[in-house]
Structure 1
Amino acid sequence: MIKEFKEFLMRGNVLDLAVAVVIGAAFGKIVDSLVANIIMPSIALIFGDTDFASNWAYKGITYGVFIQSIIDFVIIGFAVFMFVKIVNKVSRGAFVEEEEEEIDEALDTLKEIRDQLKLQNNREI
């Protein structure tokens, strides 16, 4: 059972998931700080107040909390989108380089095969 558990933990997708959770938590803190310390104060300069959660309520219905959650979601979603876009661009560049190398190697191999076939055909004549 311990051996199976060790194999389970060492599989690539489990390790990738663990890394993603840790990175996601750290990235979440960065985004939270960005929202709380940069974006919301900037919005406060425009609108005068950004504390929707406690200031926007009607007879105990705190619709400001909901509005704040929507604003946070949009900002966090955009930040994650930009992060994924950057990662994809960087990883795509590495993938394209590897793909080009594979194509060059395959082309060289095909040229060698062609040359060998030409030699064989010339000998038979």
Structure 2
Amino acid sequence: MGVRGIRGATTIKEDTSIEILEATQELMEELINQNVFLPEHVAAVFITVTTDIAADFPAKAIRKIPGWELVPLMCSTEIPVPESLPKCIRIMMLVNTDLNPDEVKHVFLRDAVKLRPDLAQKNALTS
């Protein structure tokens, strides 16, 4: 078993606590479903948000998922690159898994599919 990085991203329309938590929960559920792992397999989760998101911590949504209370989570802000995708939440998980790198399914939802259309297309073909 090795450690793999599993990435995901999503967007919100408005900077509200409800939108942040709902979008984060949706993204996490999809990452878990597509890659089939348990919280005890996760070494850490890094969550970043663009600077236009400040109404709540996305980590709160993950902590509400049963079994995820003890997984180390960290939120931070993205580098404010001009013309980058606005209102974006990104997740990078370090997971102990037997999946080969080409078997990992990275998940990009909503407007975040623009970030990595190559991975979004690959996952659509293998789902």
TM class by smaller structure? under 0.3
Structure 1 or 2, whichever has the larger Rg, is 1
Name the structure where strand makes up a greater proportion of residues. Answer: 2
TM (normalized to structure 2)?
0.24
Larger RCO, structures 1/2 (Cα 8 Å, 6+ apart):
2
Name the structure where helix makes up a greater proportion of residues. Answer: 1
